[in-house]
Amino acid sequence: MLWMEYNIHQTGDNFKVEGEWPGELMGINKDGTPKGYQLYKPGDCFRVSDNGWLVKIGEYVSEEDAASKIGGNTIDTDVHGGEMRQG
């Protein structure tokens, strides 16, 4: 897919790509409905290749988000009597 006519805003080491309306590149139509595809979305993590490509390597997941995805329980790595405890 070729994306054209976008602006790159840079502040220090940070930058963002903007389209014609807020959220256009993150999969949101002008009327606020989902487009069904996006260039990137919140949480995406990229690395820069030797030839300048941004290569998606995964998604950032905070500890809080990770805990909510497993029902709020975390695994306690202390072993007591050969059993693992859940927090």
> pLDDT tens digit string along 22-56?
999 999 999 999 999 999 998 999 999 999 999 99
| Contact between residue 27 and residue 19 where contact means Cβ atoms under 8 Å apart | no
pLDDT reported for residue 61: 81
Where helices occur in the chain by DSSP H, the ranges are 63-69
Assess whether pLDDT exceeds 60 at residue 73. Answer: no
Assess whether pLDDT exceeds 80 at residue 16. Answer: yes
Assessment of whether the complete model's pTM goes beyond 0.75: no
End-to-end C-alpha distance for the chain, whole angstroms: 46
By percentage, how much of the chain surpasses pLDDT 70?
Answer: 78
